[in-house]
Structure 1
Amino acid sequence: MFASQGNGAAAASLQSPAVAVGNPFSEKLGETIDHWRDELSEVEWVPDLGRDIGSIVWFRGLGTLVLLSSIAISCLPDFGPIAGHQTAPLIGSQADQARSQMIAPLAYGSDTGVSMAATDAVRPLAQSPERPSIELVATLGRGDGMRRVLRRAGVANKEAGEVTDLIASAVSLRDIKPGTKIDVTLGRRPNKSQPRPLDQLAFRARFDLNLEVLRQNGTLKLNRKPILVDDTPLRIKGVVGSSLYRSARAAGAPADAVQKYLQVIGKKMSVSRDIRSTDEFDIILSYRRAETGEVEVGDLVYAGITRDGKPKAQMLKWNTAGRNNWFEASGVGQSSGQLVRPTNGRRTSGYGMRRHPILRYKRMHSGLDFGGGYGAPIYAVTDGTVSFAGRKGGFGKFVKIKHSGGLASGYAHMSRIAVSNGRRVRKGQIIGYIGSTGLSTGPHLHYELYRNGRAINPNSVKFVQRAELSGRELRRFKTELQRLQKVEPGAALGTLKSASTNPGETREINRLNKPLNS
């Protein structure tokens, strides 16, 4: 009976939902809710505001954006000042205690930690103690003197003069280059009213010599420290290729040396026309290496061109009569004069009145005539700009070049002109070739010189006279040329030979950017 009642209650509880579902009002409410859920789910609440501007969907999206932004702004925290209890500023020891516990700015010394006050055990000093010695570096300026530099560094006037005399006994003061660094050590002075005594001084006097001044038993003494220097010249060789300049630079030659090399070779031949891509360039520079590691690259001393294993051009720098000049391997070079000869032919007629060979009457011959074979080259006597190039009456094919200083030069009767009007030409450059155009009885060059537009005697300005070595000077020249030609390319970059130290001689091997007193 009890079980049947329980079963009946369970059955009733199971039927109640069915009764609820079967309620017409509930069913209607459920359908309405489902309908609006479906409608709202199809609404696009976050449309792209860049599309359909002005439509209902766009305004609905704008409203959604404004609503969400308003909610976000309303949730922003307050960034106003925090109210605190106003107290008096800290002063005295309280301020020191507070500052010691923070990272103070640099203006306050950046001190941290608790500051300790002085106690009765601290006794004030009558005067501050001095450093036992001072090490400094002085620099020799341009136009400066050794004595002035030492006095500026704090050396007493008497000691500065004594040190200067010691240095002058070892090397000429004029040979010490500006910018030389001088390491100075000043010792302890007896009282503050006197200058500090010089204890030690050291500097690089020359590329091959260090000097050191030391105080020994109260006396200043000079120590010489020679440095081994290898002066093997630096030889650079290579194939010309498509560009002589780029090939030489790629082989390791400095830019200044290559430019000088081109200038020297350019006086012997045309770099653009006479040098082939298969030729070899030969550059020799003066080169010095110290055993301390420093390198000193000097000037160009030899310039050569080799073709098919044979020298095409050989130019050696040689000093004659106190002047450096470039000489060919035969010992011939240029030494003096302002203008080069306009052609290599001999002079056939001078400046002045003469009987014209064609017109048969006397008239002024305002230039010089030079003989030469048909087609022989004509050279510009010096640098200038071509002001005229073409035919000019009885001159035939004529070129006029304007030079500096109011000078100009003219070249007549050419068979062919090699320059154009307005072109810049250099000294010795080919500007044309000998011919017989115009009023001429045969191939020759008529050369004129002008000053401020008026023809002058070309003899008033001397041509360059080619110097030629002879005798003992020529033998010395040949010996030096042979010595340079025996130098192997890159030999100067090899291992530095060890020095033979003489007894009693001090050599410095390891001074490279290091003070002598360290």
Structure 2
Amino acid sequence: MRFDSSRLAKSKALRGPVILPAAIVMASLIAGAAFLQARGNKADPARAVEQAVAEAFRIAPTLESFVTHPDTWWPDTLNAEDLLPARVLKKVAVAPGDTLMQLLTDAGAEPGESQAAINALHAKFNPRRLKIGQEITLTFERNDADSYRLFEMSLSPSIEREVSVVRADDGFRASETIREFNVDRARVAGEIEDSLYNAGINAGLSNSLLGELIRIFSYDVDFQREVQTGDRFELFFERHYDDQGKTVKTGRIVGASMTLSGRELRYYLYQPSDGGEADYFTPTGSSVRKALLRTPIDGARLTSGFGMRRHPILGFSLMHKGVDFGAATGTPIQAAGDGTVEMAGWNGAYGQYVRIKHGNGYATAYAHMSRLGVKTGQRVRQGQIIGAVGSTGRSTGPHLHYEVMVNGKQVNPAGVRFPSGRKLEGKEYERFRKHVEGMDREMRGTPVMALLNRQD
């Protein structure tokens, strides 16, 4: 594509209709400005306007020269390619089913250079670990007159780390940058008006931090029944922030409390000196971890309890030997405890079904799942994702049917006292007690903050 400037001057016929009106307009503008300036300076306005008009018609031939002889003002021809930028920036996001190769080629990279860039990236980051929604920045550089080639690809696998691949003389080379942030501890508190989730969000908690709070207390708290309006919560946690004080990431919860109907539950994160796993303990040194979770799903609502009920499909009263939690299809389901998967597959009216055998005669079952994440015979850990909520089998809508069995018999999960975890004793307990005293002093000395600019 080329631009011919000579088209501006087709004939001398332009001189009359273009030059005279242009000179008149120019004279009017200059005269008006001169008149105003003369009044401001207390000079003779008439004399100023006369001089301005003369100046306008003096430079009119210059305008005539521009129109009739444009080649003296710019080159005869102007290539459109001369206006193209040296580099072009594109941002793409990973969607379900995308591959990095597909993203690069769809953005305009040649297959060969896309593969070379991906091969180089492996030195710093495995492309298979790309997550849905991950943003990738691509820079293309001008190659020939009207073509571009991939110059750089960069992405941030985490808030602290950026990985990039840049074209070099011998191909592509990968590098990474580690960002360092300031770290302190922050304290957030709130009062529940309608739900713990809304109270947490209003207090500035991220979804991940709020989910961790629920997980910590899920051993002892029935979030469907025990949480009431006026109850309170408090968190003490690690906060990573930049030089402007903006929170860029939240870390572990090191202390937390909930006050439910006047009853306070307070837990502390503690690393035993004997090399045991760091866990949350009560002020008396008892681990909050129990053998089984009462609620193996986050953010769900209890839709049907344990006991006799009128079956929504069959139409007559029937013993409901579990509890139902309503949640959206695809909501992750956790293993309630450590154990071995006894069954994973289709189970009649239960639909997609998983049953896990735990120790001491306990077992749990999960029904109506949309997909399974485990196989029969597989070992699982407490909190591990084993599938997702669905509506398979005899079901009227997406929900999790959850059963707890003791010695092969279904029991009401709300009425079971699950075995507790570790109990700190002797010198270990004395060490823990000093840790709690120091933590309490630090918490009292840290003002409650509004965690703005929160990050997930």
TM-score per shorter chain, which class? 0.3 to 0.5
Bigger radius of gyration: 1
Give the structure-1-normalised TM-score: 0.39
| Normalised TM-score (structure 2) | 0.43
